[in-house]
């Protein structure tokens, strides 16, 4: 169930025996950042747990978090410095989970790694896309400091293709890893989209994450990503979040903290069941109802809703949404397949601030990718196979959401690790980094 190949029974057994050092050694052999996955992973491992067939699964995510935090408390987490430097230089572009994992592994292999980050501080999605109430930023800072102590160099406010020349990197480095994530949000092309008050979710979340460390949320618009020109505050507003996923939930929690008058979250799909159905057999990941702490804090959730238009006032400000109920029919696999509008259900709801949280399409093409000249696949992601992670430019590799599309943090870490091994092979002929399968075979 775990994309990282974590050896879960073994570290669980070590925890049972209260051997925290052994548990940490096992966990860290496959996962560079259990302090992240132990806080924000949706835990596909738990849905694959055999205990979960007829009762609550083992809380593997919580166990992970306890292992790494106890390891830090006991001084077991130490800088993992390479014993020998190869003399090879690698640039990693992007400091989200995939970039950090690739940088950590390549540094362990002895290469000199420099991470280029277009924002003010490293961390990418972990720092700017996830609220503090889910992932405290001191957790990110602690890991960045450890990576720096190990020898990884971070260059922030370095937007490759904007204020850093692509050709300079191609000349200076023997290999480059593209790990910039999937950052172009899905838009909603309906009447009134241009009204003041309609915003992408990530613009809203990033501003608040910058405020949390006393930074100017409007600064560096010419360099950074997702910097909106005005302050986005939900205080005293009727807020609607369009999109029922994790990003939408984060907007709900942040709006609650701002002091919104009301918060409503819309999901296009019908309300999922609370338990597995015959169409969701164990151990497949079940599409069941999930309620986050943000929802519990206060939010009205509505399913099978489509937004038909944004309605403004005379000054061009958003004042309401026109919505309609949907009737869904299921396909042979039990999943929602087609919908039609419910006759007579069109109505308006008051709204002064709407957040579009409908996922991400692909990485940003303008700048880095266009200047680099890498090929894109049919979805607009950087083309590279999962086996090689190599683009059409031999020395340029890619990993994480930039390659696979919008996905989970745990998949980004996994791809960063696997990509690093391929880069190491490219530079040295063979790699000293273990594969996921090798770690699993040693365990069993």
Q: What is the pLDDT of residues 144-165, one digit of tens each?
A: 999 999 999 999 999 999 999 9
What is residue 275's predicted lDDT score, i.e. its pLDDT? Answer: 87
Distance CA(60)–CA(166), nearest Å, equals: 42
Bridging pattern class, strands 89-93 and 153-156: unpaired
Half-sphere exposure of 430 (CA within 13 A, CB side): 1
- Alpha-carbon span 239 to 264, nearest angstrom: 6
Taking residues 416-427, what's their average pLDDT?
A: 98
Helix (H, G, I), strand (E, B), or coil: what is residue 277? coil
What is the pLDDT at residue 442? 55
In eight-state DSSP terms, residue 287 is -
Q: How far apart are the first and last CA of the chain?
A: 16
Q: What does the pLDDT read at residue 202?
A: 96
Per-residue pLDDT of 374-397, as tens digits, reads 999 999 999 998 899 999 999 999
| Homologous superfamily assigned to 89-183+366-429 | FAD/NAD(P)-binding domain (3.50.50.60)
CB 377 within 8 A of CB 262: no
Identical fold between 89-183+366-429 and 187-358? yes
Quickly state the pLDDT bin for 438 (edges 50, 70, 90).
Answer: low
pLDDT band at residue 443, thresholds of 50, 70 and 90?
low
pTM of the model: 0.94
Position 304 confidence tier, pLDDT thresholds 50, 70, 90: very high
Over residues 33-83, the pLDDT tens digits come to 999 999 998 877 877 777 777 777 778 889 999 999 999 999 999 999 999
Place of tokens 């579009």: 356
Residue 116 vs residues 106, 121, 160, 253, 418: alpha-carbon distances, Å: 15, 10, 8, 31, 20
Q: What is the pLDDT of residue 435?
A: 79
Number of neighbours of residue 231 by Cβ within 10 angstroms: 9
Asked whether residue 8 carries a pLDDT value surpassing 80, the answer given is: yes
Among the residue ranges 42-56, 233-247, 304-318, 354-368, the one predicted with the least confidence is 42-56
The per-residue pLDDT for 52 is 74
Record the tokens describing residue 240, joined without a space: 């609607």
Percent of the chain clearing pLDDT 90 (strictly above): 82
Lowest-confidence segment of 198-202, 276-280, 291-295, 353-357 by average pLDDT: 276-280
Element (H, E) at 153: strand 153-156
CATH topology assigned to domain 187-358 = FAD/NAD(P)-binding domain (3.50.50)
Domain coordinates of the chain in residue numbers? 8-73, 89-183+366-429, 187-358
Cα three-residue angle 304-309-312, rounded to 5 degrees = 135
The pLDDT value recorded for residue 51 is 74
- Looking at per-residue pLDDT, the higher value among 276 and 234 belongs to 234
Q: Which whole-number Å values give the CA distances from 164 to 156, 370, 398, 423, in the listed order?
A: 11, 14, 19, 22
Q: How many helices (H) and strands (E) does the chain have?
A: 16, 16
Percent of the chain past pLDDT 70, that is, above it, reads 98
Q: Are 119 and 196 in contact (CB under 8 A)?
A: no
Provide the 3-class DSSP secondary structure of residue 164: strand
């Amino acid at each position: 169930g775990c994309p990282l190949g974590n050896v879960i029974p073994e570290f669980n057994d070590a925890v049972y025996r209260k051997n925290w050092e052994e548990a940490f050694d096992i966990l860290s052999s496959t996962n560079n950042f259990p302090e992240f996955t132990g806080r924000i992973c949706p835990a596909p491992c738990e849905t694959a747990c055999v205990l979960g067939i007829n009762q609550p699964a083992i809380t593997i995510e919580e166990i992970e978090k306890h292992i790494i935090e106890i390891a830090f408390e006991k001084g077991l987490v130490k800088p993992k410095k390479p014993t020998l430097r190869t003399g090879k230089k690698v640039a990693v572009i992007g400091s989200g989970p995939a970039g950090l994992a690739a940088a950590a592994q390549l540094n362990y292999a002895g290469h000199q790694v420099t991470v280029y980050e277009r924002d003010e501080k490293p961390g990418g999605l972990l720092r700017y896309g996830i609220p503090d109430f889910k992932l405290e930023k001191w957790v990110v800072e602690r890991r960045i400091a450890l990576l720096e102590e190990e020898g990884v160099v971070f260059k922030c406010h370095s937007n490759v293709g904007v204020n850093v020349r692509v050709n300079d990197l191609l000349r200076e480095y023997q290999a480059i890893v593209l790990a910039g994530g999937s950052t172009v949000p899905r838009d909603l092309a309906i009447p009134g989209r241009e009204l003041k008050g309609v915003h992408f979710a990530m613009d809203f979340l990033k501003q608040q994450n910058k405020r949390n460390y006393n930074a100017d949320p409007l600064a560096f618009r010419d360099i950074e990503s997702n910097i909106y020109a005005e302050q986005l505050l939900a205080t005293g507003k009727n807020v609607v979040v369009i999109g029922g996923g994790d990003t939408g939930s984060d907007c709900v929690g942040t709006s609650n903290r701002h002091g919104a008058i009301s918060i409503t979250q819309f999901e296009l799909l019908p309300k999922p069941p609370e338990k597995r159905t015959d169409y969701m057999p164990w151990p497949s990941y079940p599409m069941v109802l999930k309620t986050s702490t943000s929802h519990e804090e206060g939010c009205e959730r509505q399913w099978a809703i489509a937004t038909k238009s944004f309605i403004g006032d005379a000054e061009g400000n958003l004042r309401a949404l026109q919505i309609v109920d949907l009737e869904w029919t299921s396909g042979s696999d039990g999943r929602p397949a087609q919908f039609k509008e419910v006759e007579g259900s069109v109505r308006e709801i008051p709204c002064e601030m709407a957040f579009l949280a409908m996922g991400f399409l692909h990485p940003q093409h303008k700048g880095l990718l266009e200047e680099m000249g890498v090929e894109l696949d049919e979805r607009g992601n950087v083309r590279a196979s999962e086996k090689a992670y190599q683009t059409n430019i031999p020395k340029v590799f890619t990993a994480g959401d930039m390659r696979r599309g919008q996905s989970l943090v745990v998949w980004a870490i996994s791809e960063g690790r696997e990509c690093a091994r391929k880069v190491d092979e490219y530079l040295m002929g063979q790699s000293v980094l273990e594969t996921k399968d090798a770690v699993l075979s040693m365990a069993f």
